[in-house]
Amino acid sequence: MQRQKTAPMHDHKDFGPDITIAEFQKKMVEKHTTMSAGHLKLMAISGFLLLIGIIAIVIRATTDGFEYRAPWGYYAATVAFLLTAAGGAPLIIVALRLTHAHWRRPFARISELYAAVGILTLGLFIPLLLLVPTANNRFTLWFQADNGGSSIRIPWAPHFWITLLISMLVVSGIALLLVSARSDKANLNDNMNKPRGWLSKGWVGNSKQWSIKKGGLTFLGACYFFLLIGTLSFFSVDFGMALVPGWKDAIFPAFQSITGLQAGLATVIVTLWLVRKYCGFEDYIQMEHFWAASKILLALSLMFFYFWFSGFIIFWYGRLPAEVNVLNLLMFGPYKVFFFSAFILNFVAPFLILLWNSARKTMWGPTLAASLILIGTLIDKIRIYVASYSVDFNNSPVSIFDHKLNLVPAFQAPDVIDVLIVLGCLSGGVFMLSVAAKLFPIFSLWEISEGIKIRTVKPYLRTKLLILGKPE
- Residue of higher predicted confidence among 204 and 174: 174
Predicted TM-score (pTM) of the model is: 0.92
Region 182-210: what's the mean pLDDT? 88
Q: Tell me what the pLDDT averaged over the chain comes to.
A: 89
Task: Please state, in angstroms and rounded to a whole number, the distance separating the CA atoms of residues 213 and 7.
Answer: 30
Q: What is the mean pLDDT of residues 333-344?
A: 96
pLDDT at 64: 95
Q: What is the 3-state secondary structure (H, E, C) of 401-446?
A: CCCCCCCCCCCCCCCHHHHHHHHHHHHHHHHHHHHHHHHCCCCCHH
In sequence order, what are the beta bridge partners of 466? 457
The rounded distance, in Å, linking the Cα atoms of 167 and 165 is: 5
Q: Is the peptide bond before 158 cis (omega within 30 degrees of 0)?
A: yes
- Output the pLDDT for position 462: 79
User: What is the per-residue pLDDT for 135?
Assistant: 82
Span 363-410, pLDDT tens digits: 999 999 999 999 999 999 999 999 999 999 988 888 888 888 888 999
What's the pLDDT score for residue 5? 43
Q: Percentage of the chain with pLDDT > 90?
A: 63
Local confidence band at 417 (pLDDT 50, 70, 90 cut-offs):
very high
pLDDT in tens, 204-245: 889 999 999 999 999 999 999 999 999 999 999 999 999 999
Among residues 83, 86, 75, 59, the alpha carbon closest in space to that of 132 is found at 75
- Of 309, 307, 304, 284, nearest in space to 354 by CA: 304
**Rounded CA gap, 176 and 95, in Å?**
13
Residue 8 is predicted with a pLDDT of: 43
Stronger pLDDT, 278 or 270, i.e. the higher one: 270
Q: Which of 54-58, 110-114, 220-224, 311-315 has the lowest mean pLDDT?
A: 311-315
Which of 73-87, 181-195, 405-419, 421-435 has the weakest average pLDDT? Answer: 181-195
Summarised one tens digit per residue, pLDDT across range 91-120 is 999 999 988 888 888 999 999 999 999 999
Q: Please report the pLDDT score of residue 455 as a whole number.
A: 74
Task: Tell me the pLDDT band of 23, cut-offs 50, 70 and 90.
Answer: confident
pLDDT more than 70, % of the chain = 93
Above 60 in pLDDT, residue 10? Answer: no
pLDDT > 80? residue 2: no
Whole-number Å distance between alpha carbons of 323 and 314: 9
Cα gap 231→227, rounded to integer Å? 6
pLDDT at residue 9, as a whole number = 44
Q: What is the pLDDT of residue 143?
A: 63
Cα separation of 215 and 221, whole Å? 10
pLDDT tens by residue, 161-171? 999 999 999 99
Determine which of 77-91, 117-131, 154-168, 222-236 has the lowest per-residue pLDDT on average. Answer: 154-168
Task: Judge whether residue 145 has pLDDT over 60.
Answer: no
Band of the pLDDT at 40, cuts 50, 70, 90?
A: very high
Report which of 180, 172, 376 is spatially closest to residue 270, judged by C-alpha positions: 376
The pLDDT value recorded for residue 471 is 64
Total residues found in the chain within this entry:
472
